[in-house]
Amino acid sequence: MTILGDLYARAMRAFSAESKRQAAENERMGGLVAAAAKEKQDDNLTIQSLRQEVVAVRQVMEAMEQQLADLKALRGPAVASLLPPYHSIEHFRWAILTGYGFNAQAISILASFPLVVKDLASEQGGGLTYHDHVELNGITHEAALHELSHVIHERDWGLLEASPKKDAIDAYLEQYARLAAENDPRYAEAAAFARLQLHGDGAAFPGILALKDWDHAFVSLASWCMNSYKTGPRSLPEYMWTYFERFSTGELLVTPYYMIGGIH
């Protein structure tokens, strides 16, 4: 009986251990099944969420396409109103500020700065910038952009103290000299213009270095490219963009005078 009892006890212990192992295995398998089910549910939710996002993106794209179509429909009349004849000085001012990509900050300054145009029917160029107003001989776009750029530039540098102003001038002239030495063929015209401005023509114009005319180092370049510093035949290298981005987007609504169909 002792031997049989001992065998029985061993058998019961083995049975108990096997039962526990089986229960643990069943629990593990149940966990795996539950995890798989949850993962499938999460996948379904993810797929549903992605589908909703796709629908939302399509709706946004459709709205943008409609806006673009609306803008294209309006562009013709809008651009036409930027060209002469001009019925008032304010009409002319608006045409320059809008047509040549002046940004909101620049417009907030130039929209109220006094502007005098001697003859709204004249295509005579030239003008002057005074401390309290700009005076133009006629409605030449190049002259208007040049003088209005004076207002922005002189305001920016005029607010600087002597030492920071010298640092700003030195930094700009360093980049201007870099432009003059630029050998990328895309910027050949800009490099040639910068060399002329820096060193003069060897005759009537001695150059801005000799004249110490720092304002024109900037303003002349602005009216040379007519704010189209990002694209076009008179575009500038990116290292020069930062000086123009203060007041211009670089995106024009009109064709600048140096391109076919442009207006001077």
| 33 & 75 share domain | yes
Q: Which of 80, 114, 143 is the last residue of a domain?
A: 80
Q: Does the residue 259 lie in any domain?
A: no
List pLDDT tens digits, range 136-186: 999 999 999 999 999 998 887 665 566 788 888 899 999 999 999 999 999
Asked whether residue 250 carries a pLDDT value surpassing 90, the answer given is yes
Give pTM, 2 decimals.
Answer: 0.69
Could you tell me if 200 and 161 lie in one domain? yes
Same domain for 216 and 131, yes or no, is yes
Three-state DSSP state, 82 = coil
Residues 157, 189 share a domain: yes
SS3 category, 88: coil
Q: Is residue 250 part of a domain?
A: no
Q: For residue 160, what pLDDT is reported?
A: 55
Q: What percent of the chain has pLDDT over 70?
A: 72
Same domain, yes or no: 182 and 155: yes
Chain centre to alpha carbon of residue 40: 45
Asked, for residue 260, whether it belongs to a domain, the answer is: no
CA distance 209 to 194: 11
Percent of the chain with pLDDT over 90: 55
Domain membership flag for residue 96: yes
Q: Are residues 217 and 138 in the same domain?
A: yes
User: What's the number of domains the chain is made of?
Assistant: 2
Residues 168 and 127 in one domain: yes
How much is the mean pLDDT over the chain?
Answer: 82
How far from chain centre, in Å, is Cα 70? 23
Instruction: Answer whether residue 254 is part of any domain.
Output: no
In this structure, the answer to whether residues 20 and 75 fall within a common structural domain is: yes
| Structural domain containing residue 71 | 1-80
- 180 and 96 both lie in a single domain: yes
Among the candidates 60, 80, 100, a domain finishes at 80
Q: Which residue has the tokens 């000086």?
A: 243
Confidence of residue 226 (pLDDT cuts 50, 70, 90): very high
Residue 235 pLDDT more than 80? yes
Task: Specify the higher pLDDT residue, 28 or 178.
Answer: 178
Comparison of pLDDT for 115 and 36, the residue scoring more: 115
Q: Which of 34, 60, 80 is the last residue of a domain?
A: 80
Kindly list the distances between the CA atom of residue 29 and the CA atoms of 19, 20, 23, 34, in Å, as whole numbers in the listed order: 15, 14, 10, 9
pLDDT at 27: 72
Say whether both 164 and 192 belong to one domain.
Answer: yes
Are 148 and 76 within one domain?
no
Q: Based on the domain organization, do 129 and 231 belong to the same domain?
A: yes
Residues 57-95: pLDDT tens digits? 677 566 655 544 544 454 455 666 788 899 999 999 999
Among 54-63, 106-115, 227-236, where is mean pLDDT lowest?
54-63
**Position 261 in a domain:** no
Q: What is the pLDDT of residues 174-196, one digit of tens each?
A: 999 999 999 999 999 999 999 99
Q: What is the pLDDT confidence band of residue 100, given thresholds at 50, 70 and 90? A: very high
